Structure 1
Amino acid sequence: MISQGDGKWADAAILCQDNSSVGVSFRDRHSSDDYCVHYSIEVQAPGLSARIDKVVAWIGDNGDLAPFLEKLAADFAGWDGERCWETNDRDLAVSAVFRSGGYVGLTWTLRPWRNASCGWSASVTTWLEAGEQMGSFAADIRHFLEGHAG
């Protein structure tokens, strides 16, 4: 779901269908050049709140988050196993599984200290309907990364 943020660009967020206190928010999108955008991502769950800044999305990169989510949405009939995606810097990773009944589980893992041997990571899993909800969320992320106001 896209919501107007405090800044110039709209924010995107997803709440878990099974537990609405679990969610992921994309915020503070900004572009420094024609090749990439930077954004912040926050995850929250009972007893957990984590955020990383300066996540990089490469403009026009078919290997970025929006195409990954769009492919999951297109495969609404399901798949076997786990599908994975991560940023080039490995500071954000997403794994997806399909469960019976037509639901997609997205596990969001933040690892902000990608260059340090000792750091932290945080993960939450959001569940959503494989068809319309997954497609709508994929479109929201594309709009967010491209800088559309919703």
Structure 2
Amino acid sequence: MTSVDGFTGDPPAVIVTSLDNAAVGVRLSDRQSFDDDAVHYVAEAWSPGLAARVDEVVAWIWDADLAAFLTELAADYRGWEGERTWKTHDGDLAVSAVFMPTGRVALTWTLRPWPDIAGGWTASVTSCPEAGEQMSSLAADVRHFFARESQ
């Protein structure tokens, strides 16, 4: 399940929770655009016993687009074989998607700040939206989050 904060004057945020367990989720928030080439934002993941946060995820305009990745998943609502993946250029946020026989998509969100530094950490949570409408809604929410006019 996704929700978008920010329609009441608050800064926009996307919250993705698991349909099976609302105690598992991801939040993209605190979007800032410092220049025309990149958007900086915060990514958080939580689950019972886990709270992880990356304070400066960077979405470059020339990077593969997270909203486009999610839109492609939604368009393939009848399913696919194997795993599909997306990640930021710096590798500090990654999403993998596996189509499940139940008609849901297992989205694993992985936070990995400073991936090239020894001694770093990685945290992952998985949400399972329905393949069609819920994936389309998530893609639209993410597109709105990154839109320049929603700043």
What interval of TM-score do these two structures reach, taking the shorter chain for normalisation? over 0.9
CA contact (8 A) 1:111 1:122 kept: yes
Equivalent AA in structure 1 for residue 147 of structure 2: E
Q: By how many angstroms is 1:148 displaced?
A: 4.7
21, 31, 48: which one aligns with 1:19:
21
Q: By how many angstroms is 1:6 displaced?
A: 9.7
Matches for 1:57-68 after TM superposition, within 5 Å: 57-59=59-61, 61=62, 63-68=64-69
Unmatched segments (≥5 aa) in structure 2: none
When you count strand as a share of all residues, which structure comes out higher? 1
In 1, the alpha carbon distance for the partners of 2:8 and 2:108 equals 27
State whether structure 2 residue 96 is matched by structure 1 residue 106.
Answer: no
Matches for 1:1-150 after TM superposition, within 5 Å: 1-4=3-6, 9-59=11-61, 61=62, 63-149=64-150
Aligned length, in residue pairs:
149
Q: By how many angstroms is 1:88 displaced?
A: 0.4
In 1, the alpha carbon distance for the partners of 2:21 and 2:125 equals 11
CA contact (8 A) 2:63 2:88 kept: no
For normalisation by structure 2, the TM-score amounts to 0.92
In 1, the alpha carbon distance for the partners of 2:30 and 2:91 equals 19
Query: Secondary structure of 1:20's match?
Result: coil
In 1, the alpha carbon distance for the partners of 2:18 and 2:100 equals 14
In 2, the alpha carbon distance for the partners of 1:53 and 1:104 equals 27
| Alignment root-mean-square deviation, CA | 2.0
CA contact (8 A) 1:43 1:124 kept: yes
CA contact (8 A) 1:69 1:138 kept: yes
For normalisation by structure 1, the TM-score amounts to 0.92
Give percent identity, aligned residues only.
54
Q: By how many angstroms is 1:36 displaced?
A: 1.1
